[in-house]
Amino acid sequence: MRRPTQLLLVSLLALTAAGPMAGAAVREAPQALFTGRDLFGLEVASDPQIRPDGDVIAYVRATNDIMVDRAVRSIWLVDAKTGVQTPLVAGPGSAMSPRWSPDGQRLAYVQVTPDAGAQLYVQWVATGRTARLATLDEAPSDLTWSPDGKTIAFTMLTSDDGAKLGSAPEGKPDNAKWAPALTVETRVNFREDGEGTLKPGYSKIYTVSAEGGAPRQLTFGRFDDRGPLSFTKDGRYLLFSANRSEGWERDGNQTEIWRLTLADGALKALTSRIGPDASPVVSPDGRQVAYVGYDDSRRRGYENQRLYVMDIDGGNSRVLTGGLDRSVDAPVWSADGRSLYVDYDDHGSVRVARVGLFSGEIETIVAGLNGAGLDRPYSGGQFTVARDGTVAFTQGSTSRPSDIAVAKKGAEARRLTALNADLLGAKTLGKVEALPVKSSYDGKPIDAWIVTPPNFDPAKKYPLILEIHGGPFSAYGPGFSTDYQLYAAAGYVVVYANPRGSTSYGEAFANEIDRNYPSHDYDDLMSAVDAAVAKGFVDNDRLYVTGGSGGGALTAWIVGKTSRFAAAATQKPVINWTSQVLTTDAYSSMASYWFGKMPWEDPQGYWARSPLSLVGNVKTPTLVVVGDQDLRTPVGEAEQYYQALQLRGVPTALVKVPGASHGGIASRPSQSAAKASAILAWFEKFQSPPK
């Protein structure tokens, strides 16, 4: 019997069989354009850790391995003066989390291999001698040295028996093949995107001697105790953050700073307000603690995270960045204890600033930090500070992924590595420029950027792709993007923007979509398209739209509001807010923070903001893309939209990325390239001849 509609699952490999990933004849000249295969050649620097004396930086280098189709991580050292690099830890598996001892003579790190699992090492850098301190059940996080260099603290998942309910019948015959045992779940948070069903257990704090020995568990109970960790100056206490109140799993946004006594495990909460307090750092003199957090009594979609300082016993807390309408993170004390370093995102670009402890004055030290992502240009970056104030940080640009850079006081920042110079230096890339935009809704300025194809000719007319960020509380910036370079190499102009709701523009701008999403962010995005068309080189009949996560939701919203686009590709979208908040791994907070009511309390409010409510208006051919292990915007969201479009007879196809989570949909180079190729192939199907 024929089905009324034929389910079309588009194979990524089939869509790209004739694309850049496939075998080809021997070339007569180098490939000047960026291709999908080039993703395997990219390298990214992250986690820069500057030695206390400021002379050497350890960092993690991620290299895409074509044989395993994954990024492999190794640890390298780079001389802060000369830029000379030395591999420190390479080989099978991945190495990560390099952390200098207080005297700068040793480096602790983690190595995870398929055969040996997770292991904690220390290397004496001057001699190259390495000692394995411990083989661990799980990969540790938050490695932290004690001030005397004798102890390393870390957090690690500690297993729990998990729930049980009843049992299978007794008397199983020898050699019988019964079905697997039932699984029983009672945890509030039992799944996590990228992890799947979580192992039963809780994050706990451990210490181990820097000379080796058995790790000692210091915290207990059915709570998650998390880093970053910070020792007090005398080494008697550790500070961390946790929610240890009853019902903590249903309120993940409520954490306090805790003090742990190492001798007997005694615990004391140093903060006690509504909202998250985290990232404690003890001052050099041991008398104060810096931390970040915010008051969450309004339970809005977005709040600026602020920098606070309190006495070591938890008294006299005061905010230092109350006058800065930006969210700060990663506090680091200066060596003299008179200021703190933080990072914050401003207009899509992350910078490091120094905050005066007494004056509250905020001084920018370096700008242009870049994150480790490749597929899209989300803002981000990491930094550390030496005793003399030298800052090591990740730096990138629109033409290069993250490298390691250094900035000494009073001098210009210098890039020390050029990891992709050989590969990308030989390529003609799309050019990225700022695009001035004012929203048609209220005239509000909207940051946007435009990418023009290689060998761009302004006299020609080009097709355009509007690409939309997710979050929705996040931001794009002027960074490198493999997706955009692949689109540009295929002859498209690309436009991306930070519509209202984006971070890095202050609380008011972000909260314009609080309990009102999607809304006038739609007008902002359409205004960005209008600004690009007004340039004169965009073909108004060949406009396309795509985006992922929140950008996928906005893509589906857009095609329900207008038929302006020739085709669309909604990636890992939210389609029906009721099913979304009840099936996502983030369900414990999404309904209360984004809606203020549960779906059964306001069904019409949920429906009015669901792109599915507009599907009856859709005429635009729309591709639907999702990772088949997505737990953040679950696969059912994509499938119900695909099937609704099929019922309406709108041209559609469903692409599933095998084994991919929400956050990992572009983590494997072959799939990242194939996904971009699938979207381009879909747009090509609905492209009219250029004018």
Please say whether the beta carbons of 395 and 404 come within 8 A: yes
3-class SS letters over 427-491: CCCCEEEECCEECCCCCCEECEEEEECCCCCCCCCEEEEEEECCCCCCCECCCCCHHHHHHHHCC
**Dist CA 296 CA 298 (whole Å):** 5
Q: What angle do CA 119, 125, 129 make, to 5 degrees?
A: 60
What's phi and psi for 425, nearest 5 deg? Answer: -65, -20
pLDDT value of position 24: 54
Residue 7's Cβ-count burial label (10 Å; 0-12, 13-18, 19+) is: exposed
pLDDT at 340: 98
Per-residue pLDDT at 467: 98
Write the DSSP symbol of residue 643. Answer: H
Question: Could you give the angle at which helices 521-533 and 550-561 cross, rounded to 10 degrees?
Answer: 80
- Identify the structural domains of the chain with CATH numbers, from first to last: 12-22+425-575+610-685 (3.40.50.1820)
The answer for residues whose C-beta is within 8 angstroms of residue 600's C-beta and 6 or more apart is none
Q: Report the alpha-carbon distance of residue 379 to residue 479 in Å, rounded.
A: 8
pTM: 0.93
Please report, as a single letter, which amino acid is at residue 403: D
Query: Could you report the average pLDDT of every consecutive run of 10 residues in the chain (691 residues)?
Result: 37 40 63 95 97 97 94 96 93 91 97 89 93 92 96 94 88 92 88 87 95 93 94 97 89 91 96 95 97 93 96 96 96 97 97 94 94 95 97 97 92 94 96 97 97 97 97 96 98 98 97 95 98 97 97 98 97 97 92 93 96 97 97 97 98 97 95 97 88 60
Residues linked to residue 96 through DSSP beta bridges, in sequence order: 110
Q: Are 529 and 320 in contact, with CB atoms under 8 Å apart?
A: no
Beta-carbon contacts of 333 under 8 Å, excluding residues fewer than 6 positions away, are 281, 282, 283, 284, 290, 339, 340, 341
Predicted pLDDT of residue 690: 64
Mapped onto helix, strand or coil, the DSSP state of residue 291 is strand
The predicted pLDDT at position 691 comes to: 60
Which residue type, as a one-letter code, is found at position 109?
A: Y
User: How many residues make up the chain in this entry?
Assistant: 691
Strand 567-571 with 622-627, pairing:
parallel
- For residue 353, count CB atoms less than 10 angstroms from its CB and return exposed for 0-12, middle for 13-18, buried for 19 or more: buried
**Rounded CA Rg of the chain:** 26
Q: What is the pLDDT of residue 461?
A: 96
Is-contact 666 378, C-beta < 8 A?
Answer: no
Q: How far is C-alpha 500 from the chain's CA centre?
A: 20
Nearest Cα neighbor of 156 from 216, 70, 197 is 216
